A and B are shown apart, each in its own frame.
Chain A
Amino acid sequence: MTIWDLHCHLSGIAGATPEARLGNLLAIADRMGIERLCVYMGMTWAHDPSPEKMRQENDDVLRAIAKFPDRAFGFVYLNPKHTAASLAELERCVAQGPMVGVKLWVAQRCSAAELDPIIRRAAELKAVIFQHTFYKLTGNLPGESTPEDFVALASRHPTVPLICGHTGADWERGIQAIRHVGTAHADLAGCDPVAGYAEMAVRELGAGRVIFGSDAPGRSFSSQLAKVHGAAIPDSAKRLILSENLKRLLLPILTAKGIRV
C-alpha cells in the first residue's frame, strides 16, 4: 500500500541543516515503506513564535523540501496572534512558494476569531489546514486547543476541510467531539499505539475522514504505522487512511500548482 505521512517535523533527528535532517528522516521512511512526508516547523520550535521566528522556521522547511521536491510537502507554520504576519507568511510560502498546507499549533486556541482570516485565505489557496488539538489531564498550554475548540472553528468555516491534529490524543473523546462535523478529519499521529484507535475512528467517522500521520521523528514511524497496519479494518479502509485521503485533500492545491503525483 502507498503510504503518505501527514505529520512530520525537523526537530529531534540528527543533521546540521534542515535538508540533512529531512534526508535522514526520509532514509528511515524508506525502510518503513513511506513514500511522502508532510513537514512543518523548523529545527527548533517555539510555542508562541514571533513573526521573525515564524519566518525562520518556515525557511528551514523551505530549504528542506527544496532538496527533496518529489518526497516531501511543506506546510507553513503560522501564529494567529500575529495575524498580519501570518497572512504574509501564507502568501510567501504557499501563494508564492512551494508549500501546500498550514500548520497551527499552540500559540492560540483555535476557537479564537483571529484564525478566521487565515482559514479564509488558506481555503482560497486550497491549502490543507492542520490544527493541533489535545485533551491533557495534566492541563493544556494556555493557547492549546481541544477538539471542542476545533469544532468551533470548523463550524465557522463549514465548507473548509480541516484536520484535527492528534484527534485530541484522548482519542475516544476526540472522535466523539468531531463526529458530527463532516469536514473534520482525524489525524492518527502522536499518541501511544493504543489498540482500537483506528477501529473506532473508522466506525464513527468513516474511513474517508481518517488520515495517517506519525509525528516523527519525536514518535517512531513504527508505533504510528501500527495503528493502521494492526487495526482490524478492511484493506480498503487502510488504503484510504494511509494515503488516499491525504491525496484527496492535497489534490486541489497540487493541481493548482502544477505538481504531479
Chain B
Amino acid sequence: MNPPALFSRRDFLAATAAAAAATATRARGAAAAAPAAGLVDTHVYLGRWPFRRAPLDEPAALVAKLRAHGVTAAWAASLDALLHKDIAGLNARLAEECARHGAGLLVPVAALNPSLLGWERELRRCASEHRMRAVRLHPNYHRYTLADPLAARVLGLAAELGLLVQIPLLMEDERTIHPLVNVPPVNAAPLADLLKKIPALRVQLLNAHRTLRGAPLLSLAAQGVHFDLSNLEGVEGVTHLLSQLPVQRLCFGSYAPVFYFEAAMLKLKESVLDDATLAAVRSANAHRLLARA
C-alpha cells in the first residue's frame, strides 16, 4: 500500500485557493436558492483561537464563507475576550471590524469580563456607544460562576440595558483541552433562579448540548432560555432535540470559525424538518430573540 505522495506546499496552496474559490462559487448558487427568510448565525467569533489558527480566522475569510452559504446576519463576538484584559479595546475593535467587513452582515456582540474593574461602565458603553444588542459571557474563563452574586449583577445590568445574554457553556471538549487552560464547563443550573429574579433577562446558551441535556435543559427552556445547535451531536440531532424542546427555543449557530461552518448547515439536512421548523431555526427565532432584547 503506497499512498499518494504529499502535495508540495506550492501545489497545496494553489489547489486550496482554487478549491475555496470553486466552493464559494457553488455555494453562492445555492445561496441564491435559499429561503427568503434568510439565515441568522447566532454564534460566530472574530479573532483568533488562542491555541491554533483556524482557516477562517480573518474577518474577510469568515464573511466570505458565511455569505457563500446564504447567511444574512451573524452575531459575532471576540475570541480575544477569553484571555485579554483590555476589554474596552477589544470591544471597540470588534465594532470597527463588524462595520468594516460584511456590509452589515456581522452583528457585534459585546465582550465583558466582570472580574475586571469598570465592567459596568464598559457594558453601558457597549450598549450606548457601540449600539451592541447582546453580550457574550464566558464565566468559566473569567473565573466566576452563575451562582456568584457577581453574575446576578452582570445579568441584571444586561437586562436593564436590554441586552441579550449569550453564554457558551464550553469552548472545547474537556477531554482534549489544552492542559494549561483546563477550563471546566459553565454550570447553567443557577440560571433558573436568576431568571426568576430578573424577569427581563433574555438568555441564549451556546455550545450547550454536551453538558446540558434532558430535564435541566427543558426546564431552562420553559423559562425562556434559547439554545443554538453548534455542538448538538448524534444522527438526526435536530429532530431528536425538537422532539422535546419547543422549536421556538432553537436557533442556528455554527461556532465558526472554531468549528467548520458546514457542520451546522448540514444538521439542517440530516434531520427531516418541515418548512415552518426550518424557518424558525434558520432565522425567525433569532430575529424574535434579538428584537426582544
Contacts and interface: CB of A to CB of B under 8 A. Distances in A.
Interface in B1-29: 1, 3-7, 12, 15-16, 18-20, 22
A185 B259 CA distance: 23
Interface in B64-78: none
B235 interface: yes
Contact of A191 (B176, B232, B261, B269): B176
A203 B12 CA distance: 8
Size bin of chain A's contact surface: 35 or more
A222 B269 contact: yes
B3 A206 contact: yes
A16 B236 CA distance: 18
Interface in B39-83: 52-56
A216 B182 CA distance: 28
Given A222-B266, A249-B1, A196 B55 contact: yes
Interface in B240-290: 256-267, 269-270, 272
A243 B259 CA distance: 23
Contacts of A138: 174-175
Contact of B15 (A221, A236, A249): A236
B96 interface: no
Interface of chain B, helix or strand or loop or mixed? Answer: loop
Interface in B186-213: none
Nearest to B261: A230
B179 interface: yes
B174 to A, nearest CB: 6
B237 to A, nearest CB: 5
- Most chain B beta-carbon neighbours within 10 Å: one of A136, A218, A220: A220
B21 to A, nearest CB: 11
Interface residues of B, number: 48
A248 B1 contact: yes
A159 to B, nearest CB: 9
A221 B20 CA distance: 22
Given A137-B179, A192-B231, A233 B16 contact: yes
A221 B265 CA distance: 12
A148 to B, nearest CB: 16
B177 interface: yes
Contacts of A194: 258-260
A25 B260 contact: no
A84 interface: no
B6 A206 contact: yes
A222 B263 contact: yes
Contacts of B236: 28, 220
B86 interface: no
A196 B16 contact: no
A99 interface: no
Given A137-B174, A169-B175, A209-B3, 7 more contacts: A194-B259, A195-B256, A196-B52, A206-B7, A208-B4, A226-B266, A248-B1
14 contacts: A12-B234, A136-B175, A137-B176, A192-B173, A195-B259, A217-B234, A219-B234, A222-B237, A222-B267, A226-B260, A229-B262, A233-B15, A233-B19, A235-B19
Interface of B: 1, 3-7, 12, 15-16, 18-20, 22, 52-56, 172-177, 179, 182, 231-237, 256-267, 269-270, 272
5 nearest interchain CB pairs? A208-B3, A230-B260, A222-B266, A234-B15, A226-B263
